[in-house]
Amino acid sequence: MTNRTTVGSLLPRRGHAIVTVTALDENGYTHHYAPVEVRRDVLAEALTTLTRPASTAREERGRRPLA
């Protein structure tokens, strides 16, 4: 994949989006990741996975809760 995400340089390809991820870890630290270009269907699936309750996601993966 070509790096097309230089700030202000290009628009994403048709059917893609440029996204920036910011995550807060269990210790309270915030992590910022560089913008990436992803397909919109992949982005929609990721958002669905990230927003579903942990118990539902765990059941779908077939794993037991962490101790």
Position 1 scores a pLDDT of: 47
Domain count, the chain: 1
Q: CA-CA-CA-CA torsion for 53, 33, 46, 17, nearest 10 degrees?
A: 140
Which pLDDT belongs to residue 60?
65
Q: Is 4 a domain residue?
A: no
Which positions ≥6 away from 40 have C-beta within 8 Å? 15, 16, 17
With respect to residue 5, please indicate whether it lies within any of the assigned structural domains.
Answer: no
Is pLDDT at 5 greater than 50 in this prediction? no
What is the residue range of 38's domain?
16-61
- pLDDT tens digits for 17-62? 999 999 898 999 999 999 999 999 999 999 888 888 766 656 666 6
Q: Report whether pLDDT(8) > 90.
A: no
4, two tokens:
């097309």
In this prediction the pTM is 0.55
Higher-scoring residue by pLDDT: 32, 67: 32
Residue 38 is encoded by which pair of tokens?
A: 């992803």
Domain assignment present for 3? no
Q: Say how far apart CA 22 and CA 33 lie, in whole Å.
A: 6
Q: How far is CA 48 from CA 3, 11, 54, in A?
A: 25, 24, 12
Residue 67 lies in a domain: no
